[in-house]
Amino acid sequence: MTDADLPAFRAALLDWYAAHGRDLPWRRTRDPYPIWVSEVMLQQTTVAAVVPYWERFLEAFPTVEALAAAPESAVLRLWEGLGYYSRARNLHAAAKAVVERGEWPRSVEGLRDLPGVGRYTAGAVASFAFGLPAPIVEANTLRLYARLLAYRGDPRSSAGQAALWDFAERILPPSPSESGESGSGVDPGLVNQAVMELGGTVCTVKEPRCGECPVSDWCGAFTTGLQSEIPLPKARPKITEVTEATVAVRRADGAVLVRQRDADERWAGLWDFPRFEPPSELTTNVPTLDARQPALPLGDGDTPLLAWLSTAVQEQTGVRCEVGAGLLEIRHGVTRYRIRLLCYGGTRLGGRLRSGATMRWIQPAALTDLPLSKTGRQFATRLADLSWEGDSP
């Protein structure tokens, strides 16, 4: 596509978008705050998954000031289930930075200085909220641009990224300041929304609907019949299998022991039951723990693991306990992991909570208010229905 083609290309794109663009909630505003929240939530996350989270989040934190003033734990609780939790921590930190600063950065460079805002998100907020001619490349546009350019190399490589970002910049309408005159009158944010929408709904990964594409005339892949060869697929990571064990240690009053994950751990800031990855020789012979009531009577397969867990709980928390009931087994596939999580019940024997770590005894019903991981939430939810040896009446 030559520069001479660009006005017609943009016109066809925008006509199509006006007729076929989805009415997504964050497209109804030019306020940087809700737009920024949506962009961070949408990082590596589908639109369908984000919509309900975005609605709840904006209701709880209607302004950047409200978000900045919130406890991190409340932010994480609203993020629970969305994954990639560093996004929530960065969002919270960035909100504080914006409030401290007194105003939003109004440039790509300024936006990129915010934690969790990279090249794409900065361009998105700059163009959608501020109407700046900032290019964007993300999953949808990577695919669209690679096909338009008939880019045969790896679009995720340095060279590929350079080519795509260059193209992303080239298709934007000239701004008034750049052209020195009145400008094109076309909103760069609208062009960016349109290319993403086209990539997301027409220029799809499998079986792109080129017959419905408003810009197929300018598409190198379509012209040469290479739609299914371009772009090259992303390398698939190898799946890692892991078996872990977690313990709900219960006190006489029914409260269970939880700890907040440290800043340098996975799930930083989230809460969790004491959780471990025991040596594999201790878990390979553990029979399946279906959720059952009463708790599974434990056999030879579990015994060495139970002793190990008892020691591990004491080392991690300071609490002495007897681990004595197989309660539940959770199988969970996430990103590149396939996890078998063995859930046990334990009874407190004595000991004090170690100082220096954030830990609490909490009634199972109150776990609703704490941010937990997916599997932590599953265990917590089932806990109300489970009872085991050592129960107080």
Residue number with CB closer to DNA (46 or 311): 46
Cis peptide before 176 (omega within 30 of 0): no
For DNA, which residue of 105, 173, 200, 208 counts as binding (CB under 7 A)? 200
Distance CA 26, CA 116 (A): 19
Is residue 56 close enough to count as binding DNA by CB under 7 A?
A: no
Q: Is 39 a catalytic residue?
A: yes
Whole-angstrom CA distances from 284 to 6, 92, 289, 304 are: 62, 41, 13, 11
Is residue 227 close enough to count as binding DNA by CB under 7 A?
A: no
Residue number with CB closer to DNA (192 or 347): 192
Alpha carbons within 13 angstroms on the beta-carbon side of residue 37 total: 31
Residue span 22-41 as binding mask against DNA, x where in contact by CB under 7 A, dash where not: --x-xx----------xx--
Q: Which stretch binds DNA (CB under 7 A): 139-147, 181-189, 304-312, 342-350?
A: 139-147
Neighbours of 386 (CB within 10 A): 20
Is residue 387 close enough to count as binding DNA by CB under 7 A?
A: no
Q: What contacts 33, CB < 8 A, 6 or more positions away?
A: 63, 64, 67
Is residue 216 close enough to count as binding DNA by CB under 7 A?
A: no
Is residue 259 close enough to count as binding DNA by CB under 7 A?
A: no
Q: Which stretch binds DNA (CB under 7 A): 62-70, 76-84, 247-255, 281-289?
A: 76-84
Taking the alpha carbons at both ends of the chain, their separation in whole angstroms is 76
* Residue 269 beta carbon to DNA: minimum distance, rounded to whole angstroms: 10
Nearest to 199 by CA among 237, 227, 163: 227
Residue span 272-311 as binding mask against DNA, x where in contact by CB under 7 A, dash where not: ----------------------------------------
* Residue 204 beta carbon to DNA: minimum distance, rounded to whole angstroms: 8
- Grouping H, G, I as helix, E, B as strand and the rest as coil, residue 241 is strand
Residue number with CB closer to DNA (160 or 324): 160
Contact 10, 189 (CB under 8 A): no
Is residue 213 close enough to count as binding DNA by CB under 7 A?
A: no
Is residue 120 close enough to count as binding DNA by CB under 7 A?
A: yes
Q: Is 61 exposed, middle or buried (0-12, 13-18, 19+ CB in 10 A)?
A: buried
How many DSSP H helices and E strands does the chain contain? 16, 7
Size of residue set near DNA by CB under 7 A: 59
Distance CA 84, CA 94 (A): 16
Contact 8, 171 (CB under 8 A): no
Contact 205, 240 (CB under 8 A): no
Residue number with CB closer to DNA (83 or 110): 83
Is residue 373 close enough to count as binding DNA by CB under 7 A?
A: yes
**Residues engaged in binding DNA (CB under 7 A):** 24, 26-27, 38-39, 42-49, 81-86, 90, 115-122, 124, 138-140, 143, 157-158, 193, 196-197, 200, 205, 233-234, 236-237, 239, 242, 244, 266-267, 332-337, 339, 373-375
Q: Which residues are catalytic?
A: 39
